[in-house]
């Protein structure tokens, strides 16, 4: 094992298809037109010295180190800014170039501290490398004159010197070491799109500064790390590198936070993780990352991690540590007892969207083959189940149609109910890049999300609809497209069922769907809807991206169908730049759905009533599989309250915190006789558990995650599991204790079983992934290289299906007692229920959940910014602090749900999507009033949580 | 079966019916039945039938119309 060194070509690749041939140092090179001479040289294996260039951003031409000579041309052009031309003869090394370069380096070094031996970048510093490359042997100028290096000059205070900025928890900025190459500034602009950094001053006085000469924490910086990666010196350095030292080997793996699925190099020293560096060959992220994947891995070694299995008779008892064998035996005995006593259908399992495909597959196999029923569900139930249903109906398969690269070809992007800069930051950055290049943006969201207006990005249309009226708006947009003759009839005739289209077209054309008619309840001015519809239908490649603001509604599935209708009616399916793109929340939501986590579906989205599919698995597993659908999470809880569901195995999910109507979840769990929680921490659900099985982190196991673009990425083990076993091993041992003959020696064998049984995975194997890097399913005989874009020559179901989408107002309505609408969301630095991110330094960005409220509503209630307020709905109440902002419209309030003490889901009701029971998180009628402290429920809850976390013989486990 | 769960089931069934009511008429009842057959676990369907057999109070007419097409699970 060694450190993976990625080649930096100096400038981005050219997309041109015209090739140009030139000679560099006597070698003939052929490259696409528009390529820089620097890049062409690197292609030929010739490394031209450089400091200000990097292939992550456009050339800048400031350091003058990369000069070359071209035969017949005067002067010494910079190779990074000079494009190739046919037939030119370039020399990268001549006596004249050598002299100039040494002179340039001498100047740099004369204003740079010479403490290389103790510098954190020692061994990973481009300034050092370049000094070596140009043969710098002495420096004639000392620090007597002007410099940025010394705090004092001859006893006098040096006004040019600046102290280190250590405000960011993950990296430092040491201005004394800065060579003002502006790579950081350009990375922040071009790669991340935040524009937090500037170069102030001129010439020798120029300095990098965050924001308006603030420290990094106070600036707009979102801590993505792009500048740190771009910095050629130790000026911007990860604190972990300062603390530990340079890594010695690295392993490519996949982020375990969100559905973007960024590839990272885990850079290691022994089994210690030094840093995570985004991998340029990662096809989802192309070398970029966000603060979570890049820096927030500290939870994996957090002291709260539970490392020994534990058991207790009653949930009011303290936990008792036991051996793994005892724990397995206990669970096996309990589940068998319960099934004997209450029937085969009285137990079930929940798979995790945070675990690997292989682990998920095993949990559903345990339920189907071991428990003998289909009572398996996953947390995707509470986020993207309507995507599965809606897209399945319309297109025939329940997955996003594009890869992320597709956004580079988009002309009009529509974002509905998603907040990509916070929820899917790396995709957000890629989208913003495309918008800066001129693509148009339409945002449909009750809240003015960051992307509506941010530096150098402004949405052409923001439709600030009332929460719960998605279907009305989308049907209205369809109305405009159809009635104004903007439908792409050629596409529809060829690709869709024409008579279904006609039925649908006459439905949406009804006058009551017109923007003028829907304005009354959506709150969106009709001309905005018309404008947005025309832009989408006529603006070129149109792509729709959507998130939980679409799915988590009582009409979630209907909204997904409405989105599919819009893509089809405008012909925006089946090529780069278009499509329907669900932005998945957790890292492996896609994978957990693919792997048969739903109670009605076997892996590969095949209904359990399908005899042929069941037979495939029955033969392999040697058992009979039930042909009846099992219980979904909410149904399991209902059945538990009714006394017919008694035992559950929950892997890597915290349903008490993530599912709606906390009190109902608590009642359901409390009614069960054996709740087994398999997780890293004593999460909230574990308060109701009888058995706790310690889990492992993504750093501690092999496997695969499938991201939102259906990309199967490898997860690679870089350290030994602290708890002793990867999660798949625990599930296997549990299955063995229940008498099943499972003998997987490695997750690759599980993947082989998946490939053998699931047609869309037929060619997937670890060897193949090793060779390809990653593939997007379907990956089979028909699509051996995988499928970046789906439905290219026709829909999976044959003809695309237009479906009528009638708006139905949710039953969750405001009234005199609950006059405001609450909608919920997430923010960048925290992840879902926050169990991981809360155990990292990311808390500096989001120490608590706040309630956003419009100034008008706040004033009416006598609430000032930062006040404690009581938030009440029909379901319950909680308290949190207010944040007064006009991002939300009057009548709408908004909060996140990252912290268990807030218990935002005490507020949410149990209304849910008609088709999938996906909870309606996005609309709850509430009242808000001043308060002076935590609610009774919060206090009781805290006390109960504290009690239930006791471990016999140990001090209380701290939260 | 608790009263609570029963109320919920009726609510869910009606929600499904509300969607299919807006679909072309000849597909509506079949749509409701197919949906329930595909996604409702037998004990939920059993409970639904208990309610229908008891008069089906509160259920949307479309659910009642679909009932003959919904698979009746064996008695528990
Ligand atoms: S960490 Fe990211 S957002 Fe912050 S300054 Fe660097 S590039 Fe910009
Ligand atoms: S901080 Fe680093 S990347 Fe930024 S200008 Fe200074 S040396 Fe260059
Ligand atoms: S959280 Fe998402 S965007 Fe951030 S690094 Fe991980 S996969 Fe990438
Ligand atoms: S690398 Fe070309 S000018 Fe700096």
Residues A223 and A89 in one domain: no
User: Which chain A residues are Cβ-neighbours of B58 within 8 angstroms?
Assistant: none
Q: How far is the CA of A2 from the centre of ligand 4 (A)?
A: 29
Query: What average pLDDT does range A594-623 have in this prediction?
Result: 90
Tens digits of residue pLDDT in B3-57: 577 888 888 888 898 888 888 888 888 889 999 999 999 999 998 998 888 888 8
The answer to whether the Cβ–Cβ distance between B5 and A631 falls below 8 Å is no
Domain end among A723, A746, A761? A761
Residues A644 and A751 in one domain: yes
In a domain, A399, yes or no: no
Tens digits of residue pLDDT in A377-432: 988 776 778 888 888 888 887 788 898 889 999 999 999 988 888 888 899 999 99
What pLDDT, on a 0 to 100 scale, did the predictor assign at position A825?
74
Q: How confident is the model at residue A827 (pLDDT cuts 50, 70, 90)?
A: low
C-alpha distance from A915 to closest chain B C-alpha (Å): 7
Residues A619 and A757 in one domain: yes
d(CA A214, CA A908): 39
Q: Are A221 and A196 contacting, i.e. CB atoms less than 8 angstroms apart?
A: yes
Nearest CA in chain A to B47: A639
What pLDDT, on a 0 to 100 scale, did the predictor assign at position A176?
86
Q: How confident is the model at residue A903 (pLDDT cuts 50, 70, 90)?
A: low
The answer to whether the Cβ–Cβ distance between B18 and A503 falls below 8 Å is no
Query: Is the pLDDT assigned to residue A322 strictly greater than 90?
Result: yes
Taking CA atoms only, the protein residue closest to ligand 3 atom 5 is A293
C-alpha distance from A633 to closest chain B C-alpha (Å): 12
Task: Tell whether ligand 4 has an atom less than 6 A from the beta carbon of residue A208.
Answer: no
- A780 token code pair: 């089979």
Which residues are registered as beta bridge partners of A444? A416, A463
CATH number of domain containing A328 = 3.40.50.740
Q: How far is the CA of A262 from the centre of ligand 1 (A)?
A: 17
Q: Are A688 and A312 contacting, i.e. CB atoms less than 8 angstroms apart?
A: no
User: Which chain A residues are Cβ-neighbours of B41 within 8 angstroms?
Assistant: 345, 374-375, 599, 628-632, 635
Domain boundary assignment for chain B: 3-69
Which residues are registered as beta bridge partners of A823? A894
How would DSSP label each residue in B1-65?
A: --HHHHHHHHHHHHHHHHHHHTS-HHHHHHHHHHHHHHH--HHHHHHHHHHHHTT-TT--HHHHH
How would DSSP label each residue in A145-169?
A: SS-SS-SEETTEE-TT----B--SS
Tens digits of residue pLDDT in A219-271: 888 899 999 999 999 999 999 999 999 999 999 999 988 888 999 999 999 99
Q: How far is the CA of A233 from the centre of ligand 1 (A)?
A: 16
d(CA A880, CA A320): 35
The alpha carbons of chain A give a radius of gyration, in whole angstroms, of 29
Tens digits of residue pLDDT in A276-300: 999 999 988 999 999 889 998 888 8
Tens digits of residue pLDDT in A667-678: 999 999 999 999
Query: Is the pLDDT assigned to residue A936 strictly greater than 80?
Result: no
Query: What average pLDDT does range A752-758 have in this prediction?
Result: 92
d(CA A726, CA A744): 12
Task: Find the range with the poorest average confidence among A18-27, A493-502, A802-811.
Answer: A802-811
Ligand index nearest the alpha carbon of residue A206: 2
Q: Which domain holds residue A486?
A: 425-572
H helical segments located in A182-238: 183-186, 226-230
- A638 or B56, which is more confident? A638
Among candidate residues A823, A917, A896, A822, the one with its CA nearest the CA of residue A554 = A917
The answer to whether the Cβ–Cβ distance between B41 and A628 falls below 8 Å is yes
Q: Is A198 left (phi over 0), alpha (psi -120 to 50) or beta?
A: beta
Q: How confident is the model at residue A958 (pLDDT cuts 50, 70, 90)?
A: very low
d(CA A865, CA A858): 8
Taking CA atoms only, the protein residue closest to ligand 2 atom 3 is A231
d(CA A181, CA A111): 13
Task: Tell whether ligand 2 has an atom less than 6 A from the beta carbon of residue A187.
Answer: no
d(CA B66, CA B14): 11
Taking CA atoms only, the protein residue closest to ligand 1 atom 2 is A224
Residues A234 and A343 in one domain: no
Task: Tell whether ligand 2 has an atom less than 6 A from the beta carbon of residue A235.
Answer: yes
Q: How far is the CA of A4 from the centre of ligand 1 (A)?
A: 24
C-alpha distance from A189 to closest chain B C-alpha (Å): 46
In a domain, A682, yes or no: yes
| Residues whose CB falls within 8 Å of the CB of residue A589, separated by 6 or more in sequence, listed in order | A259, A353, A379, A380, A383, A384, A708
Tens digits of residue pLDDT in A171-208: 999 988 898 899 999 999 999 988 888 888 777 778 88
In a domain, A805, yes or no: no
Tens digits of residue pLDDT in A75-93: 899 999 999 999 999 999 9
Judge whether A600 is closer than 8 Å to chain B, CB to CB: yes
Collapsing DSSP to helix, strand or coil, A328 comes out as: helix
In a domain, A771, yes or no: no
In a domain, A8, yes or no: no
Say which DSSP state A581 is in.
E
The percent of residues above 70 in pLDDT, for chain A, comes to 96
Question: ipTM of this model?
Answer: 0.90
Residues A38 and A178 in one domain: no
Q: How confident is the model at residue A834 (pLDDT cuts 50, 70, 90)?
A: low
How far, in Å, are A78, A80, A105, A148, A575 from residue A178 at the CA level?
22, 21, 14, 9, 45
C-alpha distance from B56 to closest chain A C-alpha (Å): 19
Q: How confident is the model at residue A45 (pLDDT cuts 50, 70, 90)?
A: very high
C-alpha distance from A454 to closest chain B C-alpha (Å): 39
Query: What average pLDDT does range A690-714 have in this prediction?
Result: 92
Judge whether A554 is closer than 8 Å to chain B, CB to CB: yes
Task: Tell whether ligand 3 has an atom less than 6 A from the beta carbon of residue A285.
Answer: yes
How would DSSP label each residue in A255-284?
A: -SSBTT--EEEEEEETTEEEEEEE-TT-TT
What pLDDT, on a 0 to 100 scale, did the predictor assign at position A826?
63
Residues A242 and A355 in one domain: no
Residues A329 and A282 in one domain: no
Residues A260 and A367 in one domain: no
Say which DSSP state A894 is in.
E
What pLDDT, on a 0 to 100 scale, did the predictor assign at position A866?
87
> Looking at the 3D structure of chain A, how many domains does it have?
5
Mutation for B interface: A475, A507, A628, most B CBs within 10 A: A628
CATH number of domain containing A881 = 2.40.40.20
d(CA A903, CA A880): 9
H helical segments located in A602-717: 611-621, 633-642, 655-658, 662-670
What pLDDT, on a 0 to 100 scale, did the predictor assign at position A955?
58
Of A607, A642, A910, the CB nearest to B2: A642
Q: Are B75 and B40 contacting, i.e. CB atoms less than 8 angstroms apart?
A: no
d(CA B61, CA A693): 48
Q: How confident is the model at residue A441 (pLDDT cuts 50, 70, 90)?
A: very high
What pLDDT, on a 0 to 100 scale, did the predictor assign at position A957?
45
Torsion of CA A71, A72, A74, A75, to 10 degrees: 0
Domain end among A133, A162, A186? A133
Query: Is the pLDDT assigned to residue A166 strictly greater than 50?
Result: yes
Residues A473 and A542 in one domain: yes
Q: Are A654 and A835 contacting, i.e. CB atoms less than 8 angstroms apart?
A: yes
Residues A327 and A288 in one domain: no
d(CA A304, CA A959): 7
Residues A429 and A562 in one domain: yes
User: Which chain B residues are Cβ-neighbours of A343 within 8 angstroms?
Assistant: 76
Q: How confident is the model at residue A828 (pLDDT cuts 50, 70, 90)?
A: low
Mutation for A interface: B27, B33, B41, most A CBs within 10 A: B41
| Residues whose CB falls within 8 Å of the CB of residue B68, separated by 6 or more in sequence, listed in order | none
Of B1, B19, B24, the CB nearest to A503: B24
How would DSSP label each residue in A33-93?
A: TT-BHHHHHHHTT-----SS--TTS-----S--SB-EETT--S--BTTTPBP-TT-EEES-
Query: What average pLDDT does range A827-856 have in this prediction?
Result: 72
Query: Is the pLDDT assigned to residue A608 strictly greater than 60?
Result: yes
What does DSSP say about strands A27-32 and A19-24: parallel, antiparallel, or unpaired?
antiparallel
What pLDDT, on a 0 to 100 scale, did the predictor assign at position A111?
83
CB half-sphere exposure, A503, CA atoms < 13 A? 16
The answer to whether the Cβ–Cβ distance between B41 and A638 falls below 8 Å is no
Residues A480 and A513 in one domain: yes
Query: Is the pLDDT assigned to residue A147 strictly greater than 80?
Result: no
Q: How far is the CA of A233 from the centre of ligand 2 (A)?
A: 7
Q: How confident is the model at residue A959 (pLDDT cuts 50, 70, 90)?
A: very low
Among candidate residues A698, A699, A695, A681, the one with its CA nearest the CA of residue A723 = A695
In a domain, A413, yes or no: no
Among candidate residues A952, A641, A889, A201, the one with its CA nearest the CA of residue B3 = A641
User: Which chain A residues are Cβ-neighbours of B76 within 8 angstroms?
Assistant: 343
In a domain, A4, yes or no: no
How far, in Å, are A330, A396, B72 from residue A312 at the CA level?
10, 46, 40
Query: Is the pLDDT assigned to residue B1 strictly greater than 50?
Result: no
Of B2, B19, B43, the CB nearest to A558: B19
Q: Are A63 and A127 contacting, i.e. CB atoms less than 8 angstroms apart?
A: no
Expressed in percent and rounded to 5, the helix, strand and coil fractions of chain A are 35, 20, 45
User: Which chain B residues are Cβ-neighbours of A631 within 8 angstroms?
Assistant: 41, 43-44
Q: How far is the CA of A763 from the centre of ligand 3 (A)?
A: 27
d(CA A702, CA A679): 17
Query: Is the pLDDT assigned to residue A900 strictly greater than 70?
Result: no
Mean pLDDT score of chain A, rounded to an integer?
A: 88
H helical segments located in A544-654: 548-551, 556-569, 589-594, 611-621, 633-642
Nearest CA in chain A to B71: A628
Q: How confident is the model at residue A37 (pLDDT cuts 50, 70, 90)?
A: very high
Query: Is the pLDDT assigned to residue A832 strictly greater than 60?
Result: no
How far, in Å, are A26, A33, A65, A72, A167 from residue A91 at the CA level?
8, 19, 14, 11, 45
Query: Is the pLDDT assigned to residue A838 strictly greater than 80?
Result: no
Q: How far is the CA of A291 from the centre of ligand 4 (A)?
A: 29
What pLDDT, on a 0 to 100 scale, did the predictor assign at position A789?
85
User: Which chain A residues are Cβ-neighbours of B18 within 8 angstroms?
Assistant: 808, 914
Q: Are A407 and A451 contacting, i.e. CB atoms less than 8 angstroms apart?
A: no
Query: What average pLDDT does range A803-826 have in this prediction?
Result: 82
């Amino acid at each position: 094992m060694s450190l993976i060194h990625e080649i930096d070509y100096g400038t981005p690749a050219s997309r041109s298809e015209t090739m140009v041939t030139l000679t560099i140092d006597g070698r003939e090179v052929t490259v696409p037109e528009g390529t820089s001479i620097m890049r062409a040289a690197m292609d030929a294996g010739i490394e031209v010295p450089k400091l200000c260039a990097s292939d992550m951003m456009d050339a800048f031409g400031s350091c003058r180190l990369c000069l070359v000579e071209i035969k017949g041309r005067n002067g010494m052009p910079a190779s990074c800014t000079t494009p190739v031309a046919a037939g030119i003869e370039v020399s990268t090394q001549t006596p004249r170039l050598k002299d100039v370069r040494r002179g340039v380096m001498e100047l740099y070094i004369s204003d740079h501290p010479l403490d290389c031996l103790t510098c954190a970048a020692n061994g990973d510093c481009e300034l050092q490398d370049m000094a070596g490359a140009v043969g710098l042997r002495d420096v004639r100028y000392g620090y007597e004159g002007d410099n940025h290096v010394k705090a004092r000059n001859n006893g006098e205070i040096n006004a040019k010197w600046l102290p280190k900025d250590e405000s960011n928890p993950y990296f430092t900025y040491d201005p004394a070491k800065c060579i003002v190459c502006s790579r950081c500034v350009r990375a922040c602009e071009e790669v991340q799109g935040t524009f937090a950094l500037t170069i102030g001053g001129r010439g020798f006085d120029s300095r990098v500064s965050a924001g308006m000469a603030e420290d990094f924490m106070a600036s707009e910086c979102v801590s993505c790390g792009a500048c740190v990666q771009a910095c050629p010196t130790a000026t911007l350095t990860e604190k972990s590198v300062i603390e530990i030292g340079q890594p010695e080997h690295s392993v490519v793996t996949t982020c375990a936070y969100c559905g973007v699925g960024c590839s990272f190099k885990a850079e290691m020293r022994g089994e210690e993780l030094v840093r995570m560096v985004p991998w340029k060959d990662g096809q989802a992220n192309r070398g970029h990352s966000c603060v979570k994947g890049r820096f927030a891995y500290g939870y994996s070694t957090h002291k709260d991690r539970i490392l020994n299995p534990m058991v207790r008779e009653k949930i009011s008892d303290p936990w008792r540590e036991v051996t793994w064998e005892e724990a397995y035996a206990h669970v096996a005995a309990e589940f068998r007892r319960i099934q004997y006593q209450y029937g085969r259908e009285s137990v079930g399992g929940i798979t995790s969207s945070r675990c690997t495909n292989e682990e998920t597959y095993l949990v559903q196999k345990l339920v189907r083959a071991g428990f003998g029923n289909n009572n398996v569900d996953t947390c995707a139930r509470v986020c993207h189940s309507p995507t599965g249903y809606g897209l399945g109906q319309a297109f025939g398969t329940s997955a996003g149609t594009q890869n992320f690269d597709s956004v580079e070809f988009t002309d009009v992007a529509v974002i509905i109910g998603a907040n990509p800069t916070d929820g899917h930051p790396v995709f957000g950055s890629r989208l913003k890049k495309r918008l800066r290049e001129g693509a148009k943006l339409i945002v449909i969201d009750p809240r003015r999300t960051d992307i509506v207006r941010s530096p150098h990005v402004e949405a052409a249309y923001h439709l600030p609809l009332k929460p719960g009226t998605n279907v009305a708006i989308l049907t209205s947009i369809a109305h405009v497209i159809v009635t104004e003759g903007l439908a792409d009839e050629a596409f529809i005739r060829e690709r869709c069922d024409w008579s279904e289209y006609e039925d649908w077209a006459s439905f949406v054309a009804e006058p009551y769907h017109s923007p003028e008619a829907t304005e009354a309840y959506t709150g969106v001015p009709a001309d905005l809807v018309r404008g947005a519809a025309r832009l989408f239908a006529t603006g070129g490649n149109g792509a729709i991206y959507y998130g939980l603001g679409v799915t988590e509604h009582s009409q979630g599935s209907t909204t997904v169908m409405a989105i599919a209708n819009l893509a089809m009616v405008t012909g925006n399916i089946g090529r780069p730049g278009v499509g329907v793109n669900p932005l998945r929340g957790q890292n492996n939501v896609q994978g957990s759905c693919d792997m048969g986590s739903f109670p009605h579906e076997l892996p590969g989205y095949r209904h359990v009533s399908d005899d042929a599919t069941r037979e495939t698995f029955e033969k392999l597993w040697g058992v009979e599989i039930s042909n009846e659908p099992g219980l979904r999470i909410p149904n399991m809880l209902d059945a538990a309250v009714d006394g017919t569901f008694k035992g559950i195995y929950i892997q890597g999910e915290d349903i008490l915190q993530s599912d709606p109507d906390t009190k109902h979840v608590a009642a359901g769990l409390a009614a069960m006789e054996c709740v087994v929680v398999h997780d890293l921490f004593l999460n909230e659900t574990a308060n109701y558990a009888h058995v706790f099985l310690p889990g492992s982190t993504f750093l501690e196991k092999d496997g695969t995650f499938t991201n939102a673009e259906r990309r199967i990425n490898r997860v690679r083990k870089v350290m030994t599991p602290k708890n002793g076993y990867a999660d798949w091993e625990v599930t296997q041992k549990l299955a063995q204790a229940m008498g099943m003959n499972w003998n997987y020696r490695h997750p690759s064998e599980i993947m082989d079983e998946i490939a053998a049984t699931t047609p869309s995975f037929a060619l997937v194997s670890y060897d193949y992934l090793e060779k390809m890097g990653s593939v997007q399913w379907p990956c089979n005989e028909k699509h051996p290289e995988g499928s970046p874009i789906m439905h290219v020559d026709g829909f999976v179901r044959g003809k695309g299906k237009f479906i009528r989408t009638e708006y139905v107002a949710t039953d969750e309505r405001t009234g005199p007692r609950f006059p405001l609408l609450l909608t919920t969301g997430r923010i960048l630095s925290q992840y879902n229920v926050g169990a991981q991110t809360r155990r990292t330094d990311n808390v500096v960005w989001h120490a608590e959940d706040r309630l956003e409220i419009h100034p008008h509503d706040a004033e009416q209630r006598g609430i000032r910014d930062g006040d404690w307020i009581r938030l009440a709905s029909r379901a319950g109440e909680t308290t949190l602090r207010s944040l007064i902002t006009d991002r939300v419209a009057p009548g709408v309030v908004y909060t996140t749900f990252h912290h268990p003490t807030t218990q935002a889901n005490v507020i949410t009701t149990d209304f849910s999507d008609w088709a999938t029971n996906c909870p309606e998180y996005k609309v709850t009628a509430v009242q808000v009033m001043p308060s002076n402290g935590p609610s009774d429920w919060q206090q009781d809850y805290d006390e109960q949580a504290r009690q239930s976390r006791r471990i016999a013989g140990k001090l209380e486990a701290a939260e | 079966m608790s009263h609570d769960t029963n109320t919920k089931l009726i609510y869910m069934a009606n929600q499904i019916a509300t969607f299919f009511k807006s679909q072309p008429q000849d597909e509506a009842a079949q749509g409701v039945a197919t949906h329930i057959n595909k996604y409702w676990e037998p004990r939920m369907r059993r409970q639904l039938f208990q309610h229908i057999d008891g008069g089906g109070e509160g259920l949307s007419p479309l659910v009642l119309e679909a009932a003959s097409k919904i698979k009746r699970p064996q008695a528990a």
